């Protein structure tokens, strides 16, 4: 592969969402910062985040309550020290955002809060009704563009991490002008590449969410954690032939109901919090109701709410649904779950350092332990803000990562990859990258989805291992995205097969209960060893 001459900066940030831009602002104090985004500068999951950002800023709220709600939603797998950092540092980071020009919605002269599922208080801040992420990104980008030491480079697709002497020292990337890779070196690299929703056929995520950062880190030898935990948002607009547009949980927080095709309100049968139960509970309930009624969707019912309030509170949702001839104030809205958020990702310590020296990760690409087995609603933007800032502070200090678990220290290894033997499967080359993506996404949705079982997981692992792709020549963004999607799909399926219990977003019908015989354990995997638990 032909490579252009190396360039050099002090720090590289991969990704232009909340975690990446917040980190870049902090890093600007220490030298030249290069921010690479694979698409337009504003094209990220942050831009589309509707519901809001959670923080204990209300008069009736406390950080200890936010801590408790997060731990409870995480179903035993949250790292309490990481959650404590989140809830304690979050309010200060939000005040900093306001100083940089962030405009939250107000009730009179006070901040306006709403409530979402599994929160014990109304603590979710929002902006422009249902465009919170877009407003946060506007404020952060304005600040970043005011700092001359930050270079924002759109349409620059990161291909691989540069690793020398077991240390990450830069990246190779493609720009929009050609197919010749470029190489840039730096003293530290931050992965802030966002999520992996497009590993699934049905997703609320933008098309850029292909799991690129996870796949790059995996190929470089970094340790990954909890890959089996993928959150499915229960309410995505279901219109055939249209993208799965997210319908914010705040709609239910304002009083919306879920009804099956018989028009029965069903959530009280599944959880005492009804429509405001944790997302994993609501998604499974919706799936079971679809199975019972043999339908492709259920309904979100907002017709009992004040129509003018709904239009004002959710202007983007109202307008988008009107484009599909659905008036959410008068019509029942067809919805079904879709892949939404990855709790798993690149394992980090409390300062966002990974198992590879000088590689850091923040935001959805990382596993800090904040979300555990099931993310509490509206904690994701807060995590990106808090841990983006912490990552930058650690990078400026040339932080050395802590010791991470290894299989040698953990004799309780999971079973080898299902569907394989000592002889690798015969490769089934797929020269059409689009067909490979389509098959992998369908396999994940059908066999590694909301309700899982060992038989389907084995089938998915086996088939995913059989798919072999040629080396991209010449290299292209789409070819690398396909390779990344396939790699991440394999990791999710293997990890899901290895966890023989149900916990949070990972539900197995053949192991429907949590394993109470042992303390809750995190899963780990790297390219050097199979899934193990600690």
Q: Are residues 264 and 384 in the same domain?
A: no
Domains: count for the chain: 2
Confidence (pLDDT) at 268: 97
pLDDT of 1 above 50: no
Confidence (pLDDT) at 4: 52
Q: Are residues 219 and 183 in the same domain?
A: yes
Other beta carbons within 10 angstroms of residue 52's beta carbon come to 31
- In this prediction, residues 490-509 reach a mean pLDDT of 97
Q: Are residues 401 and 455 in the same domain?
A: yes
pLDDT of 354 above 70: yes
Q: Are residues 479 and 435 in the same domain?
A: yes
Confidence (pLDDT) at 422: 34
Expressed as residue numbers, the domain containing 308 is 235-339
Q: Are strands 298-301 and 345-347 parallel, antiparallel or unpaired?
A: unpaired
The C-alpha atoms of residue 238 and residue 247 are separated, in whole angstroms, by: 10
* Residue indicated by tokens 């337009």: 40
Contact 491, 467 (CB under 8 A): no
* Residue indicated by tokens 């340790």: 223
- In this prediction, residues 460-481 reach a mean pLDDT of 88
Instruction: Report yes or no on whether pTM surpasses 0.85.
Output: yes
pLDDT digits (tens, 9 = 90+) for 11-35: 999 999 999 999 999 999 999 999 9
Rounded (10°) CA dihedral 211, 216, 219, 223: -80
Contact 359, 349 (CB under 8 A): no
Confidence (pLDDT) at 241: 84
* Residue indicated by tokens 């009730």: 107
The C-alpha atoms of residue 193 and residue 45 are separated, in whole angstroms, by: 10
* Residue indicated by tokens 């933007």: 381
Q: Are residues 390 and 430 in the same domain?
A: yes
- In this prediction, residues 428-447 reach a mean pLDDT of 84
Task: Examine the fold and report which residue of 318, 339, 360 is the final residue of a domain before the chain moves on.
Answer: 339
Contact 401, 354 (CB under 8 A): yes
Confidence (pLDDT) at 400: 58
Catalytic: which of 279, 313, 463, 499?
Answer: 279
The C-alpha atoms of residue 480 and residue 332 are separated, in whole angstroms, by: 41
Task: Give the pLDDT band (50/70/90) at residue 516.
Answer: confident
Handedness of CA 40, 44, 50, 52 (dihedral sign): negative
pLDDT digits (tens, 9 = 90+) for 202-213: 999 999 999 999
pLDDT of 5 above 60: no
Q: Are residues 335 and 379 in the same domain?
A: no
DSSP for residue 450: S
Confidence (pLDDT) at 2: 46
pLDDT of 41 above 80: yes
pLDDT digits (tens, 9 = 90+) for 227-273: 999 999 999 999 988 889 999 988 998 999 999 999 999 999 999 99
Helical residues (DSSP H) of 397-432, grouped into ranges: none
Q: Are residues 93 and 220 in the same domain?
A: yes
Q: Are residues 200 and 131 in the same domain?
A: yes
CATH at residue 239: 3.90.700.10
Bridge-partner residues for 111, per DSSP? 106
The C-alpha atoms of residue 528 and residue 94 are separated, in whole angstroms, by: 40
pLDDT digits (tens, 9 = 90+) for 69-92: 999 999 999 999 999 999 999 999
The C-alpha atoms of residue 316 and residue 127 are separated, in whole angstroms, by: 11
Task: Examine the fold and report which residue of 291, 320, 339 is the final residue of a domain before the chain moves on.
Answer: 339
φ, ψ for residue 504, nearest 5 deg: 55, -130
Q: Rounded mean pLDDT of the chain? A: 91
Task: Examine the fold and report which residue of 291, 322, 339 is the final residue of a domain before the chain moves on.
Answer: 339
Whole-angstrom CA distances from 202 to 44, 236, 278 are 18, 9, 20
pLDDT digits (tens, 9 = 90+) for 132-163: 999 999 999 999 999 999 999 999 999 999 99
Among 40-44, 53-57, 406-410, 460-464, the range scoring the smallest mean pLDDT is 406-410
- In this prediction, residues 120-130 reach a mean pLDDT of 92
Q: Are residues 240 and 169 in the same domain?
A: no
CATH at residue 404: 3.50.50.60
Q: Has 284 been annotated as catalytic?
A: no
Q: Are strands 359-361 and 188-191 parallel, antiparallel or unpaired?
A: parallel
| Three-class DSSP category at 443 | helix
Bridge-partner residues for 173, per DSSP? 158, 182
The token pair at 115 is 């409530």
Q: How far apart are the first and last CA of the chain?
A: 40
Contact 524, 224 (CB under 8 A): yes
pLDDT digits (tens, 9 = 90+) for 401-421: 567 887 754 433 333 333 333
CA-based R_g, the chain, Å: 22
Confidence (pLDDT) at 431: 54
Q: Are residues 332 and 193 in the same domain?
A: no
Contacts 24+ apart (CB under 8 A), 528-531: 528/221, 529/406, 529/407, 529/413, 530/407, 530/413, 530/414, 530/415, 530/416, 530/417, 530/494, 530/498, 531/413, 531/414, 531/494, 531/495, 531/498
Q: Are residues 383 and 307 in the same domain?
A: no
Q: Are residues 365 and 333 in the same domain?
A: no
């Amino acid at each position: 592969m032909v490579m252009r001459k190396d360039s050099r900066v002090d720090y590289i940030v991969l990704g232009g969402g909340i975690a990446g831009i917040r980190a870049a602002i902090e890093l600007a104090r220490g030298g030249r910062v290069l921010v690479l985004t694979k698409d337009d500068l504003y094209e990220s999951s942050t831009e589309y985040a509707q519901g809001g950002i959670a923080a204990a800023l209300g008069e009736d709220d406390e950080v200890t309550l936010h801590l408790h709600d997060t731990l409870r939603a995480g179903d035993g797998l949250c790292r309490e020290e990481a959650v404590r950092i989140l809830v304690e540092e979050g309010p200060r980071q939000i005040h900093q955002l306001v100083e940089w020009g962030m405009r939250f919605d107000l009730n009179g002269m006070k901040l306006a809060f709403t409530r979402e599922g599994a929160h014990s208080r109304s603590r979710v801040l929002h902006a422009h009704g249902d465009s919170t992420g877009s407003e946060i990104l506007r404020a952060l980008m304005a600040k970043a563009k005011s700092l001359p030491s930050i270079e924002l480079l759109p349409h620059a697709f990161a291909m691989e991490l540069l690793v020398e002497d077991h240390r990450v020292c830069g990246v190779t990337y493609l720009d929009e002008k050609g197919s010749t890779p470029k190489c840039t070196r730096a003293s530290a690299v931050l992965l802030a590449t966002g999520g992996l929703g497009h590993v699934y056929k049905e997703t609320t995520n933008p098309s850029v969410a292909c799991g690129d950062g996870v796949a790059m880190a995996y190929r470089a030898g970094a340790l990954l954690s909890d890959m089996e935990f993928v959150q499915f948002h229960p309410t995505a607009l279901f219109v055939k032939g249209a993208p799965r547009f997210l319908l914010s949980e705040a709609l239910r927080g304002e009083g919306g109901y879920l009804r099956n095709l018989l028009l029965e309100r069903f959530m009280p049968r599944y959880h005492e919090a009804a429509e405001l139960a944790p997302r994993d509970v609501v998604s499974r309930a919706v799936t079971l109701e679809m199975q019972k009624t043999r339908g492709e969707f259920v309904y979100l019912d907002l017709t009992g709410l004040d129509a003018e309030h709904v239009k004002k509170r959710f202007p983007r949702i109202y307008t988008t649904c009107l484009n599909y001839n659905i008036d959410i104030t008068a019509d029942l809205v067809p919805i079904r779950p879709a892949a939404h958020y990855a709790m798993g990702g690149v394992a980090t310590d409390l300062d966002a350092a990974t198992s590879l020296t000088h590689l850091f990760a923040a935001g959805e690409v990382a596993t800090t332990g904040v979300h555990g087995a099931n993310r509490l609603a509206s904690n994701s933007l807060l995590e990106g803000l808090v841990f983006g800032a912490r990552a930058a502070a650690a990078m400026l200090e040339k932080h050395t990562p802590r010791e991470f678990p290894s299989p040698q220290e953990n004799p309780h290894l999971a079973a080898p990859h299902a569907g394989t033997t000592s002889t690798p499967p015969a490769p089934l080359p797929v020269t059409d990258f689009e067909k490979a993506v389509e098959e992998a996404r369908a396999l994940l949705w059908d066999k590694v989805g909301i309700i899982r079982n060992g038989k389907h997981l084995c089938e998915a692992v086996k088939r995913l291992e059989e798919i072999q792709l040629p080396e991209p020549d010449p290299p292209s963004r789409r070819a690398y995205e396909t390779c990344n999607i396939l790699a991440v799909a394999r990791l999710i399926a293997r990890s899901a097969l290895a966890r023989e219990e149900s916990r949070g977003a990972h539900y197995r019908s053949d192991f429907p209960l949590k394993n109470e015989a042992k303390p809750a354990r995190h899963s780990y995997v790297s390219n050097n060893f199979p899934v193990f638990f600690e």
